[in-house]
Copies of this chain bind each other. A is one copy, B any other.
């Protein structure tokens, strides 16, 4: 894409009321637009990042047998009455609205009830199990405070997978497969080293649930990390019992702030029993389906990458989720030799299947460099009279800041 085609502009300053690093940077770079606290539009570059994250999540969900569907935001009161989650006293972040007839509706903060009800049409026998269904859909949560940018949204895109098994053992097996899928996702988006599987409360469902926590001073959670075991314990379950079960000593743990980037839950039969999702087993007996639920917020994940991988000059995207891999900066005005060579390079890289962003604008070099750093594509290449004289390109890796003079084939080999 040519930068002149992109309608968004970078800004020197973020809105005054934004305090989080992720929102400040993403707004300044024109990746997102703040509509109100906790509600952000995704501008073209931001949408490209989020779409790439979605692509990675889809691949990993499909790899464990997930099948994609999409449910709706508007939800029935009736369903939630059955599970006891309609009342604002029980769920404190409902957004509610009304049909013309006066019937009250909820805007989905989650979808356990809806999918459980839906699957009553499709599951009746053990032969119909397991079912692993996921969606990438908007959730609405009426948060009292929403000051963390993409970390805590009132409207945000989430991947939620729901698992339906015939018994606890097959749920346990699938749950372990999902742990693998989640690890691969965090690894692929560039957060692998900073992200720990974290034992947390299982609520009324099971002893523990698991969170994936990414270390960051901006995090809202406090966790205790065991580097040796590559796991962590959420403050809420840091008891003698937990320590002994996990075989770790309190003195080996390090207290850290962290951002919850995913969580996985064994739900058991709470929803299937309440809503009547029952199957007939091989012996002809009726049994409630055994469920699990597995979430990742796409915006939050993007915000976390922006938060923890950036520097004071701007964003630093891993190649896997960068809007473009290569940012070509021409320092010549239109029709100059440098411009023409840059344009040729742009076309050539495009033909090679690279995703390239071409700064073809007629503005000062300093502005172009500042923008390139702020936007954070993994590689920047400069084409100028000076580089032409040397017969080479100036290639800079955003993350390390390392600059090299390279020829075309070296450039392609590095960037690929």
Contact = CB atoms under 8 A, between A and B. Distances in A.
Interface of A: 5-9, 11, 30, 33, 35-36, 39-44, 46-47, 65, 67-76, 95-100, 105, 107, 114, 118-119, 121-123, 128, 131, 133, 138, 140, 142-144, 154-155
A47 B70 contact: yes
Contacts of A39: 72, 74
Contacts of A96: 97
A229 B394 CA distance: 58
Q: What are the 4 closest A-B residue pairs judged by CB atoms, nearest first?
A: A7-B131, A41-B71, A42-B70, A97-B97
A105 B95 CA distance: 10
A304 to B, nearest CB: 19
Contacts of A131: 7
Given A35-B114, A97-B97, A100-B144, A73 B8 contact: no
10 contacts: A8-B122, A9-B121, A33-B121, A35-B74, A41-B72, A73-B140, A74-B140, A74-B154, A96-B97, A99-B142
A128 B30 CA distance: 15
Which of A8, A46, A76 has the largest count of B CB atoms less than 10 A from its CB? A8
Contacts of A128: 7, 9
Contact of A72 (B107, B121, B155): B155
Contacts of A118: 33, 41
Number of copies: 2
A42 B67 contact: no
Nearest to A33: B118
A35 B121 contact: no
A140 B72 CA distance: 11
Contacts of A133: 7, 44
A354 to B, nearest CB: 18
A291 to B, nearest CB: 14
A74 B7 contact: no
Contacts of A114: 35, 41
Given A97-B95, A114-B41, A35 B119 contact: no
A71 B140 CA distance: 14
A107 B97 contact: yes
Contact of A67 (B7, B65, B74): B7
A82 to B, nearest CB: 15
Contact of A41 (B69, B98, B100): B69
Given A9-B122, A11-B121, A41-B118, 10 more contacts: A8-B122, A33-B121, A35-B71, A36-B74, A40-B72, A73-B155, A95-B97, A96-B97, A100-B142, A100-B144
Nearest to A94: B97
B73 A138 contact: yes
A78 B39 CA distance: 15
A183 to B, nearest CB: 24
Nearest to A124: B9
A68 B41 contact: no
Nearest to A8: B122
Contacts of A95: 97-98
A329 B64 CA distance: 25
A197 to B, nearest CB: 28
Contacts of A144: 100
A115 to B, nearest CB: 9
A69 B40 contact: no
Contacts of A68: 44, 47
A69 B43 contact: yes
A16 to B, nearest CB: 14
Contacts of A140: 73-74
Contacts of A75: 35
